[in-house]
Chains A and B, each alone.
Chain A
Amino acid sequence: MSDPTDNYSDMISRRHFVTLTGASGAAALAGCTDSSGGGGGDGSDGSDGSDGNGGSGVVDTTLVGATNNGVPTNMHVNPMATQNYDWIAGNHLFERFAAYNFTTQEFELAGLSDWSFDGTTVTLTLRDDLTWDTGDDVTAGDVITQFKLMQKTGATLWDYVESVEQGDDDKTVVLNLSDPTNPQIIKHTLANGDLRIHAYQPVYEKFLDQEASAVQQFKWEEDIHGNGPFTFESKSDQGWTLRRNENFHAADNVNFNTYELLTRTDNTALQQGLLGGELDVVSSLFTPPTIVANFPDRVEEVQLPAKWGYGAVFNHDDEDFGKRKVRQAIAHVINRQQVADNSGPRTKTPAPKVTGIPPEDQETWLGDDFDSFEGYGPNASNTEKAASLLREAGYTKSDGTWQDGDGNALGGSYITPAGWTDWTTATNTVVDQLNSFGFEFEINSLPQGDYFGAYIESNFTMGAFYWLPGGARSSFPYFPLRWQMKIPDIDGGHNFAEGEHTVPAMDGSGEMTLDPLEEITSVATSQDEAAVEETVKRVAWHHNQNIPVLSLVAKVDQSWLTDAEWNVAGEDDPARGVKWPSHWLPKQGKLGAKQ
């Protein structure tokens, strides 16, 4: 679980320790005896970037990664743009506020040296040594400009924030919240991997007086200045070329001078790139076991919980699938273990309980009540139970097919995205299991745009859909439990009814009525941990019984490093737990060039 404290001095110490050990570790690994050991050592002053020609111990070599976001000549680095922001390049150019470590399950501060929460006030303190690549300080003004533009463009942060202002000095930013807000929510929002400190005032200030569309259509391709470990040098139709940023606060940790991101359009090209030694790192890439087995020894896999995975979504307005008993019957029929085994035995695990909490967090949050949650047979098809539920719901089985009172077969079109190979296998397994039981589904494989379009327009009965929003925020159940009811990704196209729902009581006696959306929303403004835990259990129980979305399997993200020419943090190093290792480790001094 995430660190519940508001004071992050312990994390700061840890970060300083990481910086210190990272710098010295990389130097030691690289044999850099002449490296100045003190750079960034205590974190109070950090690196000053004074070693003009690239710093001592910097190896003239290139770390080669890849981007599959598009051809760089068509891409840019304005994260606020509606289209064509290459976030992989952006991640190297811009420092983040904070990060969530999936291994330690704690937040780690990055561009911030402190964050504090006091009622309706959040105070963010920027690192003293956080500068733009020009050498100028990153100031409160830059961050305030960014937050104001985020308000203009409707960013999620402004669901909680009412206003933003400068604090006591130009390194302090104060967020005034509309209501007291659970600090976890603000932390997850700020630590979101896509949120970077990017609004270089000389470039972004002019957008404050313009319509939102101006910044949304701005392509930042010239005069690019960042504050991350690398600076922009050039881009072509083949890739991005980034150079080590000497002004980066932890520049001493980066011991190589070039980071190249080559354009690779699909997974196969990325896999072949690792196989052939063309690529040194790939941030995230699904790779089936047969290909992993062929990778040479130099390729290292880092598995991180995706808190995302294959599930099924129902149209709750549908005559059949709007019925709870039908959804429960489907949950009973599907053998989740088999779905996981077929679609990715190395990378997929079945959800232990059907609810809106990621598998690895379920026992932590549900505690002693975990066993009382309905399991729906994670590794079996409970056909008898399912048949009984369908009969109770008014369906009969005739000629091997379940039918409603009018003789219509129970089933329909099962939507699945074309080209998501592991999902195709999962869909085949699910539909096969359901049809063997007596449903009559046919698979409807749609291109990505049409696939999402069908859900957005509620033009479906049932289909494959991820059951968690993904990313670090899914570890805080407020996000996934609420998400399952609203699914903003499809604009709530699954039509789950808001308001009160009655489900069997948790203790097995009678029933309980609750408004799950209202209850989980209360977590956002609660600072009482016990109350939060209790609410999470109640809403998770509701989801277990009412099944707004069917949880099936969760996957791990596969991130790739190579160690033939690079010193890489060891397998037990918790620094590998921040997404993505190929972005995070270089600036920690844990992914450096061998001399």
Chain B
Amino acid sequence: MVNYYVRRTARVFVTVFLVASLTFGLVRLLPGGPFTLLRAQLLRQGVPADEVDARIANLQNIRPDEPLWQQYIDYMLALFQGNLGESISLGEPVVAVIAKAAPWTVFVVLVSTILVFVIGIFIGSLQAYWEGSRFDQLVTGVSISLMSLPFYVVAVIALYIFAYQLGWLPTAGTVSNSVERSLGVPFLVSALKHSILPIVSYTLGAAGGQALAMRGNSIQVLGNDYVQVARLRGLSDRRIATRYVARNAILPMYTGFLLLLGFRLGGTVILEQIFSYTGLGYYMITALNANDYPLMMGTFLVITVALVVGVFIADLTYSRIDPRISAGESDEAY
């Protein structure tokens, strides 16, 4: 058992190391240097070419002219100390930028993913319960339709209807500009209002998918011998549904939840652009547009590490939920 935890933990470190190395390499494969855009901007502002060179030299944030191996060692050593460097375009430590942005993204993704599962499990269970009914057929159709509609299309339509046409919800941002930035009712209400559209558009399609998954799992469990035996024992439908069916049908979805949490962090790049929501995805695009290596690497890393950590937690906790894992019957939690 200890061996299982040790292997899992070691795998996390190896994965993070590989991700960090890969991020470092991939970012540098991008065309153009980190100062190409800044150079063009300064020239367009009428700053003489010599002066532009001097200004860029004055930006000591990173030294892109050093040999690649030197940059790599510097980067990994700094990373080991929790230092992601300084953003070239924003002139701020990347950690500070991420610290400002991450809570908004985590909030939207977490709430949305929880909703996806709560709604998915509830609807999927009902569908399985009434398998073949008109409700089942209708919900299956709606779920498939929602799944086939990309979330950004839902986002744009929702934005158009509820923000621009009806004016019920704000069009952009994380919180109203006029609200004081302190934890209080006005702040929370404003933050909630600003997050409704991103959360809803990020939830709808995925919830449909989870409902279908839950339906399938439940129907499969319903056909198992132990459910038949439970019925023969004369147990109540409620007990069978909650203790026997739901628990076993939800089990495979548990790891999916944690994995999805990590995956969906990456999807916020588009979502946050649509809603001008200043989270991690927003800054990732900013960094990409500006060829801002440190910020790009920082945001990439946070998103991928979140996924790795999600898998790790799933691994560690799955054995608690499914005794077959701790008994060594299976090595994989997902």
Which of A239, A266, A272 is within 8 Å of B171, CB to CB? A272
Known A-B contacts A236-B181, A449-B290; the reply to A269 vs B172 at CB < 8 A is: yes
In the assembled complex, the Cα of A277 lies from the Cα of B170 at a distance in Å of: 11
Known A-B contacts A216-B58, A449-B36; the reply to A489 vs B167 at CB < 8 A is: no
Known A-B contacts A156-B46, A260-B177, A488-B43; the reply to A219 vs B54 at CB < 8 A is: no
Interface residue stretch chosen among A136-144, A450-458, A556-564: A450-458
Q: Is A13 an interface residue (CB 8 A)?
A: no
Contacts of A456 in B (CB 8 A): 39-40, 43
Known A-B contacts A447-B32, A489-B40; the reply to A241 vs B177 at CB < 8 A is: yes
Residue interface mask B35-57, A partner, CB < 8 A = 1: 01111101111111111101100
Residue interface mask A232-258, B partner, CB < 8 A = 1: 000011110100000000000000000
Having A450-B31, A453-B39, one finds 12 other A-B pairs with CB under 8 Å, namely: A70-B286, A74-B90, A153-B51, A154-B48, A213-B58, A238-B176, A238-B177, A265-B273, A266-B273, A278-B171, A453-B33, A492-B49
Contacts of B39 in A (CB 8 A): 452-453, 456
> A237 contacts B46, CB within 8 Å?
no
Interface extent on B, as a size class?
A: 35 or more
From B40, B58, B164, name the one whose CB has the most chain A CB atoms within 10 angstroms: B40
> B40 contacts A237, CB within 8 Å?
no
Residue of A nearest to B92 (CB): A74
Q: Is B276 an interface residue (CB 8 A)?
A: yes
> A448 contacts B289, CB within 8 Å?
yes
Query: How would you classify the secondary structure of chain A's contact residues: helix, strand, loop or mixed?
Result: mixed
Q: Is A61 an interface residue (CB 8 A)?
A: no
Known A-B contacts A83-B38, A262-B172; the reply to A450 vs B58 at CB < 8 A is: no
Residue of B nearest to A81 (CB): B91
Contacts of B45 in A (CB 8 A): 194
Contacts of A186 in B (CB 8 A): none
Count of chain A residues with a beta carbon within 8 Å of a chain B beta carbon: 48
In the assembled complex, the Cα of A219 lies from the Cα of B86 at a distance in Å of: 15
Q: Is B301 an interface residue (CB 8 A)?
A: no
Q: Is A275 an interface residue (CB 8 A)?
A: yes
**Closest chain A CB from B179 CB (angstroms):** 9
> A82 contacts B58, CB within 8 Å?
yes
**Closest chain B CB from A505 CB (angstroms):** 35
Q: Is B100 an interface residue (CB 8 A)?
A: yes
Which of A156, A237, A448, A490 is within 8 Å of B174, CB to CB? A237
Task: List 5 interface pairs A-B (beta carbons < 8 Å), by A numbering.
Answer: A154-B54, A219-B91, A238-B175, A452-B37, A453-B33
Known A-B contacts A82-B59, A216-B58; the reply to A449 vs B37 at CB < 8 A is: yes
> B172 contacts A264, CB within 8 Å?
yes
Contacts of A453 in B (CB 8 A): 32-33, 36, 39-40
> A264 contacts B276, CB within 8 Å?
yes
Q: Is A375 an interface residue (CB 8 A)?
A: no
Residue of B nearest to A260 (CB): B177
Contacts of A276 in B (CB 8 A): 163-165, 167, 171
Known A-B contacts A154-B50, A269-B276, A488-B48; the reply to A447 vs B172 at CB < 8 A is: no
**Closest chain B CB from A155 CB (angstroms):** 8
Which of A82, A450, A488, A491 is within 8 Å of B32, CB to CB? A450
**Closest chain B CB from A453 CB (angstroms):** 4
> B49 contacts A491, CB within 8 Å?
yes
**Closest chain A CB from B168 CB (angstroms):** 11
**Closest chain B CB from A138 CB (angstroms):** 24
Q: Is A73 an interface residue (CB 8 A)?
A: yes
From A216, A275, A449, A492, name the one whose CB has the most chain B CB atoms within 10 angstroms: A449
Q: Is A212 an interface residue (CB 8 A)?
A: yes
**Closest chain A CB from B177 CB (angstroms):** 4
> A71 contacts B278, CB within 8 Å?
yes
Contacts of B32 in A (CB 8 A): 447, 449-450, 453
> B91 contacts A217, CB within 8 Å?
yes
